[in-house]
C-alpha cells in the first residue's frame, strides 16, 4: 500500500505541513471557500450529496480496501440509521415518531446502524471472498422487501416523510450553506479517521488479515473479531451518512435502500478506486455529476445505461478505478515534464 | 463416513440396537406419514382452527412446490456457472427477465407457446455463450472483476429492457391445452349432505412443477452419466487439473454457460406464463437464486433442488400464515444455514 510511506517516528521533527500533506491543505482551503462561488444547487445537490455518498462509499472502501470484504449492504446500514431518525425523531406520517430531540436521536440511530452492521458482518464473515458480496446482496434485498411489506415499523411502501434537520445555535442546518459545511465536516472527519485508522495497529492488522488470514490466525490474532469490528466501524460511517441523507431528503422510504442504490454505492467506490480513502469521494463526485448532467446528453431514461457502460469500462480498463488510472498516467506525465524541462 | 460412524452410533444408542441411519429413516418415515395424513385426511376442526383451513394449507404447499420448481430452474444455472467458473453471475436475474420478454414476443407474434419457450431457451443460450467468450474469458481468474462486470451488465440490461418493453406488466398467454384446472384427490372439506369437496389446482402450475422435475433429472443424468457431465464435474473439483489432462476447458465453460443462461431464459418464459413479466422481476429472481444457492450449497444441483424446495415452501407458507414477515422467514433460513453450515447444505468445504 502507498500509505505506508509515511512512517511514524522515522522523521522526528516533521513540520505540520509535511505531516498533513500539502495536497490536503489546498483541498481543504478550496472546499471551505467553495460556498463563496457556488450556487445553492451546486452546494447541496452536487457537493453535499456527493459527500454523503462519498462517506457511504468510504465505509465500503474501508471494508473492501482494508478488509477485503466487498459489501452491498452499506445502504441498508445507512437506511437503518435513516429509519431510526424517522422513528425516534418526528415525522408527519402519523406512524410512530417519538419526537426525541436530535441529540439523542442521532447517537441512537448511529449506534443502531453500527450494531446492525456488525451483525451483518458477523453473518457474512463466516464465508470468504466473493461469497460476502452474495450474502450482503441477499441481506440488502431482503431488507428492502421487508421494509416495503412491513407497516408496523417501516410504514410500508410510502415510508416516512416530513423529517426535519435540527435547528440549533440559531441555524437551520438544512439551509444550503450550513448543510454544506455539515457534510464537509463529516466527510473530512471520516476521511481523516479512516486515513488515521489505516495506519493504526488495528488498521495494519486488518490489512494483514486481508492478505493472509491463515497466517494471522496462526500468529494468534482473532480474525473474526477484527473483521466484525471493521464492520462495526464501517457501520458508524454508514450510519452518520444515513442521518445526513434523511435530513437532506426529508423523507425515507424503501426506495432509499433499494438494490439499485446499493449497487450505486458499489459503483461509486469501484469507479473512484478502493485503494485510498479519497477514491470514494472522487467516485461520488463523478457519479453525481454524471447523474445530474447526463440527462442533457442521453436523456433521463437512459442514464443507467450510460453509468453501467462507464462502470464496465472502468472495470475492464482500470481495476483500481480513477485513482488507478491517475496512478498509471502520472509517471508518464512526470517523464514528459522531465523531457520538456531542459 | 457412514461405515465409520455406524459402530459408534450404534453403541451410543445402546439398547435399541438401531443404527443412526435407521433412526433417521424412521424419523423420515414418520414425517412422510404426517405429511400424507395432513394432505389426504379430512381435517378435524381443531386443526382447521390452527392452520386457517385445509384448502389454504394444501394450496400453500402446492404453490410452494411450483415456485420451488421455478426457483430450481433459475438457480440450477446459477449454481452450475458458479461451481465451474467461480463466477457469480449477478446478471442471472436479467437473463431470466430477458428470456421472459423474448418468450412473450415470440408467443404473441406466432401464437405458439412452445415456440416461445424454445426461443427463450435458445436465444439466452446464445447470449450466454457470447457473454462467456467475449467478457468472462478476458477476465479469467479474476473473480472479483468478473462479478463486477456482471453487475455492470445487469444494470445496462435492465435499463435497455426498460427502454424496449417499457414499465408495463405482460402476461404470456398459455395455450388452451394447458389451461383449466386439475381436480386432485385431496378432500378439502365435507359438505353437510356428505359430498366431498375436492381441491382443484391450475393444470399449468402442475406442468411447471413436472417440467422442473424432468429438467432436474435430466441435468442430473447429464452431469453424472455423460462425458460432458464428467468433464463439468471434474472442472468443479479441479479446473487446472482438467485443463492439464487435455480437455478444452473453454469449450466446457461455454457449454455450461449456454445451459445455465438457457435455463434462466426457459424459466423466464415458464415463469412469465405462470406469473407475470415486469421490470423488477430480475432482482426478485436474482435474490431467489442467491438465497437458494447459499442455502443449498454452491455448485451442487442437488443442493439447488433442496434449497429451492426450502425457499419456495417457506415463501408460500409465509405468505399465507404471516404475510408481512414472509421475507424474514426466507432470511432466517439463510442465516441459520450460514451459522450451522457456512458452505450450504450440499456444499463442499473449500
DSSP string, B118-156: HHHHHHHHHHHHHHIIIIIGGGTT-HHHHHHHHHHHHHH
Alpha helices by DSSP H, listed for chain A, are 16-20, 22-37, 40-41, 49-61, 67, 74-88, 102-124, 130-149, 176-199, 201-211, 213-218, 223-249, 259-272, 278-298, 303-317, 321-340
Q: Domain coordinates of chain B in residue numbers?
A: 53-340
Confidence of residue B123 (pLDDT cuts 50, 70, 90): very high
Which three cell numbers, joined as nine digits, stand for B243? 485443463
Residues in chain A where the model's pLDDT stays below 70: 1-20, 94, 128-129, 170, 173, 298-301, 333-342
Which residues of chain A are within 8 Å of residue B324 when distances are taken between CB atoms?
Answer: 149-152
- In Å, how far is A269's CA from the nearest CA of chain B? 12
pLDDT, position B1:
44
Give the mean model confidence (pLDDT) for residues B280-289.
83
Give the Cα separation of B288 and A29 in Å (integer): 49
CB contact under 8 Å between B159 and A308, yes or no, is: yes
Of B147, B162, B330, the CB nearest to A130: B147
| Closest residue on chain B to A137 (Cα) | B287
The alpha carbon of residue A156 is apart from the nearest alpha carbon of chain B, in Å, by: 10
Rounded CA gap, A1 and A5, in Å? 8
CA distances from B188 to B38, B49, B180, B183 (A): 10, 14, 19, 11
Q: What is the pTM of this model?
A: 0.79
Q: Which of A145, A307, A319 has the CB atom closest to B145's CB atom?
A: A319
Q: Please name which of A326, A216, A252, A318 lies closest in space to residue A282, comparing C-alpha atoms.
A: A326
DSSP A167: E
Nearest to B290 among A137, A150, A308 (CB): A137
Which residues, at least 6 apart from B57, have a Cβ–Cβ distance to it below 8 Å? B38, B51, B320
| Chain-chain contact of A263 with B324 (C-beta, under 8 angstroms) | no
How many CA atoms within 13 Å lie on the side-chain side of A123? 24
Q: Please, which pLDDT band fits residue B165 given cuts at 50, 70 and 90?
A: confident
* pLDDT score, position B48: 67
- Would you state the pLDDT for residue B5? 45
Interface of A with B in 48-107 (CB under 8 A): 70
pLDDT at A88: 79
**Which chain B residue has the Cα nearest residue A263?**
B151
**The pLDDT value given to residue B339:** 75
Burial of A204 (0-12, 13-18, 19+ CB in 10 A): middle
User: Contact A150/B291, CB-based, under 8 Å?
Assistant: no
**CA closest to B294 among chain A residues:** A135
State the residue for C-alpha cell 498533513.
A20
Q: Is A307 on the interface with B (CB under 8 A)?
A: yes
- Domains of chain A, CATH where assigned: 21-340 (1.10.3470)
Residues of B contacting chain A (CB within 8 angstroms): 86, 88, 90, 138-139, 142-145, 147-149, 151-153, 155-156, 158-160, 162-163, 283, 286-287, 290-291, 293-294, 298, 323-328, 330-331, 334-335, 338-339, 342-343
Tell me which residue in B144, B293, B326 faces A130 most closely, judged by beta carbons: B144
Least confident residue range of A167-171, A289-293, B22-26, B93-97: A167-171
User: Are A303 and A209 contacting, i.e. CB atoms less than 8 angstroms apart?
Assistant: no
Averaged confidence pLDDT in chain B? 80
Q: Provide the 3-class DSSP secondary structure of residue A141.
A: helix
**Nearest to residue A72, comparing CAs of B144, B140, B333?**
B144
Q: Count of CB atoms within 10 A of residue B270's CB?
A: 30
Cβ contact A146–B331 (<8 Å)? yes
The verdict on a CB contact (< 8 Å) between B287 and A137 is yes
Query: Considering only residues 129 to 148 of chain A, which have any Cβ-Cβ distance to chain B shorter than 8 Å?
Result: 129-131, 133-135, 137-139, 141-142, 145-146
What topology does CATH give the domain B53-340?
ABC transporter involved in vitamin B12 uptake, BtuC (1.10.3470)
- CB contacts of B151 in chain A (<8 Å) are 263, 266-267, 311
A251 or B3, greater pLDDT: A251
DSSP annotation string for A192-225: HHHHHHHHSHHHHHHHHHHH-HHHHHHTT--HHH
Amino acid at each position: 500500500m502507498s500509505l505506508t510511506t509515511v512512517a511514524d517516528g522515522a522523521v522526528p521533527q516533521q513540520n505540520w505541513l509535511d505531516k498533513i500533506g500539502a495536497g490536503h491543505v489546498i483541498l481543504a482551503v478550496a472546499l471551505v471557500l467553495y460556498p463563496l462561488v457556488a450556487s445553492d444547487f451546486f452546494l447541496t445537490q452536487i457537493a453535499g450529496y456527493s459527500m454523503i455518498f462519498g462517506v457511504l462509499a468510504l465505509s465500503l472502501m474501508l471494508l473492501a480496501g482494508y478488509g477485503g470484504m466487498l459489501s452491498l449492504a452499506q445502504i441498508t446500514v445507512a437506511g437503518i440509521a435513516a429509519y431510526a431518525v424517522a422513528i425516534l425523531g418526528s415525522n408527519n406520517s402519523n406512524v410512530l415518531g417519538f419526537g426525541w430531540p436530535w441529540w439523542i436521536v442521532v447517537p441512537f440511530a448511529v449506534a443502531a446502524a453500527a450494531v446492525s452492521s456488525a451483525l451483518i458482518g458477523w453473518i457474512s464473515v463466516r464465508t470468504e471472498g466473493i461469497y460476502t458480496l452474495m450474502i450482503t446482496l441477499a441481506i440488502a434485498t431482503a431488507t428492502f422487501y421487508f421494509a416495503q411489506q412491513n407497516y408496523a415499523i417501516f410504514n410500508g411502501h410510502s415510508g416516512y416523510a416530513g423529517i426535519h434537520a435540527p435547528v440549533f445555535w440559531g441555524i437551520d442546518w438544512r439551509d444550503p450553506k450550513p448543510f454544506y459545511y455539515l457534510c464537509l465536516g463529516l466527510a473530512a472527519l471520516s476521511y481523516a479517521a479512516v486515513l488515521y485508522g489505516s495506519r493504526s495497529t488495528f488498521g495494519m492488522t486488518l490489512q494483514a488479515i486481508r492478505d493472509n488470514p491463515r497466517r494471522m490466525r496462526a500468529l494468534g490474532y482473532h480474525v473474526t473479531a477484527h473483521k466484525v469490528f471493521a464492520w462495526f466501524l464501517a457501520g458508524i460511517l454508514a450510519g452518520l451518512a444515513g442521518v445526513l441523507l434523511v435530513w437532506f431528503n426529508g423523507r425515507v422510504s424503501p426506495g432509499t435502500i433499494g438494490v439499485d442504490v446499493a449497487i450505486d454505492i458499489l459503483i461509486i467506490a469501484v469507479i473512484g478506486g478502493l485503494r485510498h480513502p479519497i477514491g470514494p469521494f472522487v467516485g461520488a463526485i463523478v457519479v453525481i455529476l454524471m447523474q445530474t448532467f447526463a440527462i442533457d446528453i442521453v436523456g433521463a431514461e437512459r442514464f443507467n445505461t450510460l453509468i453501467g457502460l462507464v462502470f464496465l469500462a472502468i472495470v475492464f480498463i482500470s481495476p483500481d478505478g480513477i485513482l488507478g488510472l491517475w496512478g498509471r498516467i502520472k509517471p508518464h506525465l512526470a517523464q514528459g515534464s522531465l523531457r520538456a524541462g531542459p | 463416513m457412514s461405515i465409520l460412524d455406524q459402530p459408534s452410533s450404534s453403541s451410543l444408542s445402546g439398547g435399541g440396537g438401531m443404527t443412526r441411519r435407521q433412526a433417521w429413516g424412521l424419523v423420515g418415515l414418520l414425517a412422510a406419514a404426517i405429511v400424507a395424513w395432513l394432505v389426504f385426511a379430512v381435517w378435524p376442526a381443531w386443526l382447521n382452527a390452527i392452520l386457517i383451513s385445509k384448502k389454504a394449507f394444501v394450496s400453500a404447499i402446492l404453490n410452494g412446490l411450483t415456485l420451488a420448481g421455478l426457483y430450481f430452474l433459475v438457480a440450477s444455472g446459477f449454481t452450475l456457472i458458479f461451481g465451474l467458473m467461480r463466477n457469480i453471475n449477478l446478471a442471472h436475474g436479467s437473463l431470466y427477465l430477458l428470456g421472459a420478454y423474448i418468450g412473450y414476443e415470440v408467443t404473441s407474434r406466432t401464437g405458439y407457446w412452445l415456440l416461445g419457450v424454445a426461443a427463450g431457451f435458445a436465444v439466452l443460450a446464445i447470449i450466454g455463450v457470447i457473454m462467456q467468450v467475449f467478457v468472462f474469458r478476458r477476465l479469467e481468474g479474476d473473480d472479483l472483476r468478473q462479478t463486477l462486470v456482471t453487475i455492470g451488465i445487469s444494470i445496462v440490461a435492465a435499463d435497455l429492457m426498460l427502454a424496449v418493453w417499457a414499465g408495463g406488466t405482460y402476461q404470456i398467454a398459455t395455450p388452451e391445452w394447458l389451461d383449466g384446472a386439475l381436480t386432485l384427490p385431496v378432500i378439502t372439506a365435507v359438505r353437510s349432505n356428505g359430498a366431498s369437496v375436492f381441491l382443484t389446482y391450475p393444470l399449468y402450475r402442475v406442468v411447471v412443477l413436472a417440467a422442473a422435475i424432468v429438467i432436474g433429472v435430466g441435468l442430473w443424468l447429464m452431469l453424472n452419466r455423460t462425458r460432458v457431465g464428467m468433464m463439468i464435474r471434474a472442472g468443479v473439483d479441479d479446473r487446472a487439473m482438467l485443463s492439464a489432462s487435455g480437455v478444452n476447458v473453454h469449450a466446457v465453460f461455454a457449454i455450461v454457460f449456454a445451459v445455465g443462461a438457457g435455463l434462466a431464459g426457459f424459466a423466464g418464459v415458464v415463469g412469465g406464463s405462470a406469473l407475470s413479466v415486469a421490470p423488477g422481476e430480475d432482482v426478485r429472481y436474482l435474490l431467489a437464486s442467491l438465497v437458494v444457492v447459499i442455502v443449498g450449497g454452491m455448485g451442487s444441483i442437488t443442493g439447488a433442488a433442496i434449497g429451492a424446495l426450502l425457499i419456495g415452501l417457506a415463501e408460500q407458507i409465509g405468505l399465507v400464515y404471516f404475510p408481512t414477515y414472509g421475507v424474514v422467514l426466507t432470511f432466517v433460513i439463510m442465516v441459520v444455514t450460514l451459522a450451522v453450515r457456512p458452505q450450504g447444505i450440499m456444499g463442499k468445504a473449500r
